[in-house]
Amino acid sequence: MPGKKKHFLFLLFITVISIVVLQVSLSSQQSQEARWYKGQTHAHTTNSDGDELPRRVVRWYLDHNYQFLVISDHNKLTDITYLDTDKNDDFILIPGEEVTDYLDKIPLHINGINIKKEVAPRHGKSKVETLQNNIDAVIEAGGIAQVNHPNWQWSFSTDEIQGLKNVKLLEIYNTNKDCNNFDAGGSPGMETVWDRLLSRGFQVYGVASDDTHNYEGEFRAGRAYPGQGWIVVRARILTPGAIVEALEKGDFYATVGFGVELDDIVITPKEYRLTIHQQYDFKYTTQFIGKDGKVLEEDFGLTPAYSFKGDEMYIRAKVLSSSGDFAITQPVFGYEIRQ
């Protein structure tokens, strides 16, 4: 009997330890569950042509419930060392720069996000060469490249963007009015440009940003104010590396205006499903968009879903609100659907 009792106690001890280990493991996994983080990738300060000091720019985004900010001054890597002094809050700064180049006075701008050193414009003999040289420079500096406002002064076209390599992010909505975001006069807006690129097999994710220059004074057309366009990124931890990793995977959405909020985006081998966060008494229409920008399906609910047919080249979603605001989600590509 004493031997059996010892054996029983030993098994009980092992069982208790196993339960504790399992609970700790589950708790650790739960603490590492992905969260949504609101952020801005394109903002200027007095270090280039913004009208506010860097610390006050940081204060604005922190006070307006952003979790990360990229200060992207023109050809200047703004020192962020002493700008985010509270290391325990739910906010980080990611180093950045808008590499600002020209060809025959045509602006050709590339954002370098999470770069480790300042990037000097490298120039080129054509628009594609100039843009590519600066994309390569951003990557060499340890960052991820974002192509900024192609329609500003109608700087470069779909064909020229298609000639670029190693591009992960494209600014679809720059909330400055002179960036010509929308279709008009026979010229394509940026969402049309995006669909044309995706339909040609060019895989790039869509960003909305403020391109903020103006933080003071009376609101008027032609000025670039904060809080009009941003992205929401899903990551397990709030670090520059984790945010960039999610951007590279397309695990984020972009929103414009008052903002359409999404609680979840789930993509399975069978469907593309969203969960929309209800705000006030707004109504919503979700469009599931495929090749050539064709709307394949519409849904008026808060949990819209598209069932894959298997022959899609890509599928993305756009959520329109009765407030006039909207959100765009990232494309899932045909080869991913068919895996």
**39-70 tens-digit pLDDT:** 999 999 999 999 999 999 999 999 999 999 99
DSSP 8-state assignment for residue 151: T
Which amino acid appears at position 179 of this protein?
C
| pLDDT for 290 beyond 60 | yes
What confidence score (pLDDT) does residue 19 get? 39
| pLDDT for 321 beyond 80 | yes
What confidence score (pLDDT) does residue 15 get? 43
Average pLDDT over all residues of the chain: 90
What confidence score (pLDDT) does residue 334 get? 86
Closest CA to 116 of 90, 86, 139: 139
Q: Identify the residue whose tokens are 């080249």.
A: 313
Measured CA to CA in angstroms, residue 35 lies from 21, 252, 271, 279 at distances of: 25, 11, 22, 20
What confidence score (pLDDT) does residue 85 get? 79
**How many Cβ atoms sit within 10 Å of the Cβ of residue 65?**
10
Give the tens place of pLDDT for each residue, 110-165: 999 999 999 999 999 999 999 999 999 999 999 999 999 999 999 999 999 999 99
What confidence score (pLDDT) does residue 306 get? 98
Give the tens place of pLDDT for each residue, 186-212: 999 999 999 999 999 999 999 999 999
Asked if 59 and 52 touch (Cβ cutoff 8 Å), the reply is no
Most confident stretch, 1-5, 212-216, 220-224, 273-277:
273-277
Please classify residue 17 by burial: count the beta carbons closer than 10 Å to its beta carbon, then call 0-12 exposed, 13-18 middle and 19+ buried: exposed
Categorize the per-residue pLDDT at 177 as very low, low, confident or very high, splitting at 50, 70 and 90.
confident
Categorize the per-residue pLDDT at 29 as very low, low, confident or very high, splitting at 50, 70 and 90.
very low
Measured CA to CA in angstroms, residue 251 lies from 55, 140, 192, 224, 332 at distances of: 29, 23, 21, 27, 10
d(CA 134, CA 120): 8
d(CA 193, CA 159): 9
| pLDDT for 26 beyond 70 | no
What confidence score (pLDDT) does residue 67 get? 98
| pLDDT for 16 beyond 60 | no
What's the average model confidence in pLDDT over 19-38? 56
pTM for the model stands at 0.89
Q: Please, what are the domains in the chain? A: 34-255 (3.20.20.140), 258-339 (2.60.40.10)
d(CA 213, CA 176): 10
d(CA 153, CA 157): 11
